[in-house]
Amino acid sequence: MIKKITSALLLFFLSLNIVNAAGMIDDPLLTKIMIDQLEVRSSDGKTENVWEADIWIGKDLNKLWIKTEGEIADGKTEEAELQLLYSRGIARYWDFQVGYRHDFRPKPTRDWMAIGFKGLAPYFFEVDTALFVGRDGQTALRLQGEYEILFSQRLILTPETEINFYGKSDAALGVGSGLSDLSLGLRLRYEIKREFAPYIGIYWKQQYGETADFAQAIGAKTDDTQFVIGIRAWF
């Protein structure tokens, strides 16, 4: 079913005729690559390399989005995710997104249908929410938000949060039903130019419920505080 959804998504996006020259003046074809996080996290002498990036191509109302994020620790990829989404503008500052998500890591891999909303809430809070539906009745809900505090035109502090819920337990991945984890980040960046900004910050994550129980069973920590250093860039 998920493969059919992905094929239909691609065919629908191509049917938008995004390269129609007659519409290039008023509604040009645009692209953007956004590397939101490319960072090293350090805690208790251990380091992790983390990435989070988006690519989109399209016009004002209709776009194709590619989202990817992951984590590498001790030279091994611990987490890796890719989303392929059709995005449609439904209101000022808000997009509806639907498509496909594939988790490459951890093993075993998982496939999901993704449905969500991305936009700018009142008081300029950036919000990205998504409901994921997998095989065998698996469901997951991800809530993300961030806010930018400008100390100057170049020095910017960004608090952010992410919360994950799961509809049922997945023991193979160490994920429990209900509230799974909560993470908070605080990053201070300096924009050398608009398209490039190094940053430093702090990142905290806490696991809950059955997810915490799974972690404790294998001797893993259920909470962690890490210092981060990285770069943010877009093209």
Give the pLDDT confidence score for residue 44 in this predicted structure: 84
Residue of 104, 143, 136, 101 lying closest to 121 (CA atoms):
143
Angstrom distance (rounded) from CA 90 to CA 138: 28
> What percentage of the chain exceeds 90 in pLDDT?
83
Domain limits, the chain: 2-234
Give the pLDDT confidence score for residue 142 in this predicted structure: 98
Give the pLDDT confidence score for residue 7 in this predicted structure: 62
Q: Which fold has domain 2-234?
A: Porin (2.40.160)
Cis peptide before 106 (omega within 30 of 0): yes
- Give the pLDDT confidence of 118-143 residue by residue, as tens digits: 999 998 999 999 999 998 889 999 99
> What percentage of the chain exceeds 70 in pLDDT?
89
Query: Mean pLDDT over all residues of the chain?
Result: 91
Longest Cα–Cα distance of the chain, Å, equals: 61
Contact 97, 90 (CB under 8 A): no
The whole-model pTM stands at 0.88
- Give the pLDDT confidence of 137-160 residue by residue, as tens digits: 899 999 999 999 999 999 999 999
Per-residue pLDDT for 4 more than 70? no
- Give the pLDDT confidence of 9-53 residue by residue, as tens digits: 555 555 555 444 444 457 789 999 999 999 999 998 889 999 999
Tracing tokens 């995005």 back to the chain, one arrives at 87
Please, which contacts does 80-83 make with residues 24 or more away whose CB atoms are closer than 8 Å?
80/104, 80/105, 83/114
Give mean pLDDT, residues 166-187: 97
Higher pLDDT, 54 or 9: 54
Residue of 220, 202, 212 lying closest to 181 (CA atoms):
212
